[in-house]
A and B are shown apart, each in its own frame.
Chain A
């Protein structure tokens, strides 16, 4: 057990060192990610008509004021900082296609936990660089937020961010593992990211959608990637609802973990070791 913790710690450490090699590119990429936030706030401003004479502060679209919408968007972006996994699925697919997956199959390591700690390192370095800009953006937009919720809700929010990371990782790695069956999965990854953008609530809050659609989305894990953490901080759930939603989120983590394990063990059995 201790040995396993040590191995994971070393994987994490080595990955962090690797992430810090190209510091210029990394810092630039992290900062550039904040640009869409600004354009999106302007876009919502135009949708609500904030710069028109007809606009009044109380104007609501689907129960969201302009301020609610900006707050939602910023909180959803924060959740995405936990749940987005750029390059994870395509990296697994590349490893399968080019045969570099060999290191996971011939060494006494577990590929999924290796990738998990690799991603954790990726995220930690990202937070290290992105915390200051995030704080600045939230500070500048502080007037848009309804105020701090109670401690229970904040705790639920912190847990929901961890769930966002876990669900995001497990969904993306599951897509990547499909490469064991279909070598080329780039179109699938593209479709998945489009669906993810829409179904997670990244594009618009999920309660904006027609009830028939939300009824279905309720049963999918995507909402844990953006909508759920953002909606918590906007006080849209009472305490029993929070407990229920977090439990369902954890159940999704278990289901996806089992699905990943099955996919990996079947895929690795099917694996033909391509690429010489």
Chain B
């Protein structure tokens, strides 16, 4: 049974449009103009129990709105969603005991008290028995390496330590599903990695369903096999993360190391020369021209080494977001749910 099923989900906000200047501000006292902002438009997807899925998109794409809808924080304008059979925005306690929402930018621990006081309160709110509570707290504090910090006021913790405490608070009641909104935002590389490793380990041992939004592709690459890419309220890709590069990047990077520092001058005919660092050269070559390019260069020049790479995921995603408008026009119909509930890939490939 799928953990999450979403069909035709839409959320539209009415936003006040203020014109520039003092006169317009005075005018705004009497008459206001509003604009309809479609944060999410007719999206559909399905997530199986135990899956860890990345939700990607630029700022304002509709990622957080979707997480808020799925956690029952806001009501949709249209559409349906079921999480373990529950309609999230009914806010039934039975459902609220089954999920956790962690927002990297929002703190839900008691600021002036040690985290252990917040954990105690969570124990009562979620009706966790003393034995299982102690076990879970020991497990989580050990995994996240914060055993010595639970007695320290939250305001005195570093951002990374605080985020680890937030994760503990979110997982104490053993939720079946975890919504993570930018869990590593603002963290240093070491803290980011620690959170990633924890999530990976925890998900593997507890088979929890996780829906993650993040701007850090390192998070996504480390944790998720599947990605849903959303932009301007529409899903533009739903499938294996590995397919994102294949599908959206029409180029690969070919790196040659020549026998001497004399770099051939006509390499640009094979593709864009990205970097020249004699005797090495990096070229961006159209995928289907790679065999021909390799054959020709190897036949005509003295090459010591050659390697072919995919473009970094981060770069490809950034390009998708930048070019989305034109791409959307080319691939009209993309993002519509297919029979299995996932967005169609064929129209865009």
Contacts and interface: CB of A to CB of B under 8 A. Distances in A.
B113 A102 contact: no
Given A100-B106, A276-B105, A108 B74 contact: no
Contacts of B74: 271-273
Interface in B89-127: 91, 93, 96-97, 99-101, 103, 105-106, 108, 110, 112-113, 117-118, 120-121, 124-127
A193 interface: no
A18 B93 CA distance: 26
Contacts of B103: 102, 276
Contacts of A276: 64, 103, 105
B58 to A, nearest CB: 14
A103 B108 contact: yes
A106 B178 CA distance: 12
Nearest to A101: B73
Contacts of A272: 13, 74
A109 interface: yes
B72 interface: yes
A216 interface: no
B125 A273 contact: no
Contact of B72 (A7, A11, A100, A106): A106
Nearest to B155: A21
A209 B103 CA distance: 53
Contact of A21 (B112, B124, B125): B112
Nearest to B112: A21
B196 interface: no
Nearest to B118: A14
Interface string B62-95: 0011001001111100000000000000010100
A108 B126 contact: yes
B125 A108 contact: yes
Q: How large is the interface on A (under 10, 10 to 19, 20 to 34, 35 or more residues)?
A: 20 to 34
B110 A14 contact: yes
Contacts of B75: 269, 271
Interface in A141-157: none
Contacts of B110: 14, 18
Contacts of B125: 7, 10, 107-109
A244 interface: no
B127 A22 contact: no
Nearest to B69: A273
Interface of B: 13, 64-65, 68, 71-75, 91, 93, 96-97, 99-101, 103, 105-106, 108, 110, 112-113, 117-118, 120-121, 124-127, 153
Interface of A: 3, 6-7, 10-11, 14, 17-18, 21-22, 99-100, 102-103, 105-109, 268-269, 271-273, 276
10 contacts: A14-B110, A14-B113, A18-B110, A106-B100, A108-B125, A268-B91, A269-B75, A273-B68, A273-B73, A276-B105
